[in-house]
Structure 1
Amino acid sequence: MSHGLRSALTRLDAILIRCRRIPAALYSSKSPEKREKMEELQSSPYYTKYASKLTELQKANPAEFAKRLEEHKSVKQAVKEADKERVAHPVNIVSTVDPHKPAAAVRLQRTRLADLMKVELLTEKTAEEIAEMWRVYHKDKPGFICASMPASSYAQIQSRAATHPTFLYPLPRAAGYEFFVSQFAGAECHFTQLAAFQQRKADAPTCLSLVHLDELRDSKGLVLMRGQYDQNVVNAVQVQCLLNQLQLYYATSDPHKLHLLQQFNAHPDAFDYRDLISEVEHSFIGLT
């Protein structure tokens, strides 16, 4: 693990400890009905994010606060009806790391495209055909994942990674969220569990490694990505979730996501991990 990643994780650890100091309750009332509504609000996955704002609203406008409690119940029911299979998790920070299990890092060798495919046979192929061949090549390879992207998208990722090499991603788990940290190093990007670093420091294993192959960048306007992951830590769906988040932050035009990326790298003391959880939850809402 690089010195830069160790420094970033150490800094983030202190930030997370401070940010966990979330008010246990916003409302105190002898009314059983109001108490029930308040408990229902606090069970919402969005409560943590907006706790301070709701406290301010309660003090400034009690009537509006009571109205919000009523609205929350109807919104919660609407979300439940929109997707009955979704389970709303509380915002807990969880760990799947076994402190007694030896660390085993994923080490993806730096590969040339010629080591995997006969590049000379790709001359007459379109970018779309090559991307499909790349997908099929990795289809039945357990522990591997692949992707393809326009050269322009990779150029933007490269540019962002050069100035903001490290970032944090929440991965939904059964009991809440687990955080993973990524570190770019040239054409490679490595992920590790935050909890693994907290327990093992420099010995924390990489659980997901990515390498970008840009040999077709000029001729086809295409960059291929290959990843290898520890199947004891994450599965293919969870890896895809992490990669989707990486793309959202490093290839984004969203000013808020770019602000979070910049803030994490340049001003970590002002960074709030709950903003990332909110982004994940809001992304879900946008798809329902």
Structure 2
Amino acid sequence: MMATFRISTLRRIAPGAAPHVRVSQRRWAQVHGVRFLVTQYSDRILEKYKEKLGKKAKEEGLRDIDQLKEAYKEKIQDVKKAAIPIPTVAASRTTSTTSPLPVAQVSAERTPSSNSGLRTLSSYLDLDKTMDLPEKEIEAIWRLRHVNDAQSLCATIPLSVYQTIEDTAKTHPRFILPLPKEGQGAEIHFLQWTFPAENSVTVLFTHLAEYKLRGEFSQPHTTVTHHLELAKDKGLVLLHGQVVEGRGVSVDEAKWLVMCLQKFYGLGRENNERRRLLELFGKGDASFKIENLVEEAEKII
């Protein structure tokens, strides 16, 4: 039963951090910012690479970035044609009009470039000694192991709960989640599950705007790894996340996304709406609406 999905477990994420992002009903009513935020973020990325694009234009004998864009117009159109249309909310919650928010092609698997860089649980803990410890001591040691890293997240998840999450992830490895932004409405983030090693399962969180722009070459702002080495003997899965500083997401905001993820993927049979949203998104069904996603996310807190 979902009662075993303990809120206390989720609140152990990012020890020492402020309480997770709390969203009032009123703030969620400002969903009108979704499309604006996507465009705004794309503009920031363009500004970031402005100098390199200008250099590229000169190398090709072009006057400026506008001429460079015109020269590569056909290639840009090809990328856009590969996008999957997903409807989003329109001007506000009070209106029913929708407009398309295309997502870059999400069929390609994004996995870490090299498994050699993947840290196993043994790089954090002495597994032989840990196996002899009770659950509460393992949880305490895991928190202490990451307490000095201001950009990290950590939590322990009961195996029975994690199994539901993983089973759902294998069926629905890609999804999007809303993140509330003060005075700006909801910013949309793309997530993808990967299974790079026998005892490691990861989730990559990326700004949807960046993923649309760069596809499989986009850089995640948060990477969460589930370590399964203790699952069989201790009935625990240890979660560790790393938030990249300077990529537009705070540790508290990343914590909100992880909580949202666990609520959507750890759903029980009683929550038909969350399951329905996962299924519609996975199929690229036009009836998937971000407004419905936001409404469901409101219920998490």
- TM-score by length of structure 1 reads 0.63
* Larger Rg computed on CA atoms: 1
Please give the secondary structure, in 2, of the residue aligned with 1:268. coil
Partner in structure 1 of residue 241 of structure 2: 227
After superposition, residues 111-260 of structure 1 pair within 5 angstroms as 111-174=119-182, 175-186=184-195, 187-232=201-246, 233-253=248-268, 254-260=271-277
* Shift of residue 200, structure 1, vs aligned partner: 2.9
Contact 2:131–2:230 (Cα < 8 Å) also in 1: no
Cα distance in structure 2, aligned partners of 1:123 and 1:248:
29
Amino acid at match of 1:240: K
Mapped contact 2:177–2:257 kept (Cα < 8 A) = yes
Structure 1 231/130 Cα, relative in aligned 2: closer, same or farther at 3 Å? same
Q: Which runs of 5+ in 2 are unaligned?
A: 1-22, 50-111, 196-200
Q: How many residues align?
A: 198
Give the whole-Å Cα distance in 2 for the aligned partners of 1:161 and 1:202. 19
Q: Which has the higher contact order (CA 8 A, sep 6+)?
A: 2
Secondary structure at the aligned position of 1:154 is classed as: helix
The one-character-per-residue Cα deviations of 1:204-257 (angstroms, maximum 9, x if unpaired) are: 211111111111111100010111112222111101110111011111111211
Hey, what's the Cα distance between the residues in 1 that align with 2:281 and 2:28?
27
Q: 1:265 is matched with which residue?
A: 282
For 2:191, the aligned partner's letter is S
User: Which ranges in structure 1 are unaligned for 5 or more consecutive residues?
Assistant: 1-82
Sequence identity, in percent?
A: 27
Secondary structure of the structure 2 residue equivalent to 1:269: coil
**1:180 Cα deviation after fit:** 0.5
**Residues 204 and 222 in structure 2, CA contact (< 8 A), matched pair in contact too:** yes
After TM superposition, give the deviation of residue 266 of structure 1 in Å: 2.3
Q: TM-score, normalised by structure 2?
A: 0.61
Q: More helix per residue: 1 or 2?
A: 1
Partner of 2:156, secondary structure, is strand
Backbone CA RMSD of aligned residues: 2.3
- Letter matched to residue 203 of structure 1: F
Q: Which amino acid aligns with 2:262?
A: Q
Q: Find the counterpart in structure 1 of residue 298 from structure 2.
A: 281
Specify the alignment match of 1:52 in structure 2: none
Q: Is the 8 A contact 1:110 1:211 kept in 2?
A: no
- Say whether 1:90 aligns with 2:30: yes
- How big is the shift at 1:172? 0.5
Partner of 2:286, secondary structure, is helix
Task: Report the alpha carbon displacement of residue 88 of structure 1 after superposing the two structures with TM.
Answer: 6.0
Cα 1:202–1:218 shift into 2, 3 Å: closer
